[in-house]
């Protein structure tokens, strides 16, 4: 089925899960789209089956807390940042709830974590103003970049380059094979006055970069030249939380949560607001992602909602 405006507008909540007692702070689909993992400020990791629309398993991380959770390429494993004890990143085997490896190094809160789309490496950025490159097979940092401010990071879809957003005003692109030589290009944008950048994402076609913030603004820039393309507004964020913005898999639509519990959708090419989806979320929606393989959307506040379309492309 093709994603077009009226199909997007037809999305309705098909299932709501109320497993968590505190807000869900991070979600991630497996590359196959079969499963979704979430973590919450109640220190729980919950894994969902997307095909059946059921909860599969809950794993507790009471000792270290959990944030920024991501599936790795190996089955039943994930990496996450910590919210207690220290700022070590942890590699977790989900089926037996055992840690495979720790990645120590950051001295302040980790605010950005992303997995390479093609290999067992990942990037982390911290309030200690560093960006670190890791290999899942080694506890030692493989690369370290000192930056001038708070970093956010993302891999491009091919896993050949990565983008680092620094100080909410510039985006630096690095070649993974020679990142130690510094960025091969830097895009300077106007400094955000009202908010901080809290996330970067490349579109699946690699042509654009989406910048999420902790304010009520989302930016879209050209990935090759850094030129601003769209500014998406109209969603509420009066709590200063890092609301996630996401692309649809075809790069045509941008989705975002809001503090009023609704999901906003824009056309990525025109900047036009397609619709506002009402989920009856009782609290701010911090996480929204589209399934990479199936026609399904997930949004999360304290509850997790699975959305499905009620119209088809020919309707």
Any idea of the CA torsion for 76, 78, 83, 88, to the nearest 10 degrees?
120
Q: Is the pLDDT of residue 125 over 90?
A: yes
In the chain, domain spans = 5-309
HSE at residue 106, side-chain half, CA atoms within 13 A, is 31
- From residue 265, how far is each of 6, 142, 248, 273, 288 by CA, in Å? 12, 38, 10, 6, 11
Read off the DSSP letter of residue 123: E
Q: CA-CA distance, 116 to 170, in Å (whole number)?
A: 22
User: How far is it, in rounded angstroms, from Cα 232 to Cα 74?
Assistant: 35
% of the chain surpassing 90 pLDDT: 83
Distance CA 162, CA 145 (A): 12
**pLDDT (mean) for 97-123:** 94
Give the tokens for residue 47.
Answer: 């894994």
Residues 145-189 have pLDDT tens digits of 999 888 999 999 999 999 999 999 999 999 998 888 999 999 999
| pTM of the complete model | 0.94
Architecture of domain 5-309: 7 Propeller (2.130)
Q: Which residues contact 210 (CB under 8 A, 6 or more apart)?
A: 199, 200, 201, 202, 203, 218, 219, 220, 245, 246, 247, 254
Residue 312 has pLDDT above 70, yes or no: yes
Strand partners, 175: 161
């Amino acid at each position: 089925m093709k994603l077009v405006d009226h199909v997007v507008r037809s999305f309705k909540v098909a299932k709501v899960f109320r497993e968590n007692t505190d807000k869900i702070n991070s979600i991630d689909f497996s590359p196959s789209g079969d499963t979704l993992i979430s973590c919450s400020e109640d220190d729980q990791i919950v894994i969902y089956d997307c095909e059946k629309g059921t909860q599969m398993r809950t794993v507790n991380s009471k000792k270290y807390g959990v944030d920024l959770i991501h599936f790795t390429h190996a089955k039943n494993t994930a990496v996450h940042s910590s919210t207690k004890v220290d700022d070590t990143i942890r590699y977790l085997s989900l089926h037996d709830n055992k840690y495979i490896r720790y990645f120590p190094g950051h001295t302040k809160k980790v605010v950005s974590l992303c997995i390479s789309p093609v290999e067992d490496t990942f990037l982390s950025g911290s309030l200690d103003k560093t960006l670190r490159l890791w290999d899942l097979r080694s506890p030692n940092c493989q690369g370290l970049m000192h930056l001038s401010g708070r970093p956010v990071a993302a891999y491009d879809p091919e896993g050949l380059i990565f983008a680092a957003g620094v100080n909410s005003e510039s985006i630096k692109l690095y070649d993974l094979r020679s990142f130690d030589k510094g960025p091969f290009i830097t895009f300077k944008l106007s400094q955000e006055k009202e908010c901080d950048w809290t996330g970067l994402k490349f579109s699946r076609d690699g042509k654009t970069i989406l910048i999420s913030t902790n304010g009520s603004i989302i930016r879209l820039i050209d990935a090759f030249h850094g030129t601003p393309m769209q500014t998406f507004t109209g969603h509420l964020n009066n709590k200063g939380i890092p609301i996630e913005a996401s692309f649809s898999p075809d790069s045509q639509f941008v989705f975002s949560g809001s503090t009023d519990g609704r999901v906003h959708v824009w056309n990525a090419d025109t900047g036009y607001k397609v619709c506002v989806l009402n989920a009856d979320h009782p609290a701010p929606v911090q996480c929204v992602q589209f399934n990479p393989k199936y026609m399904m959307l997930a949004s999360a506040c304290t509850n997790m909602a699975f959305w499905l379309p009620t119209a088809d492309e020919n309707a």
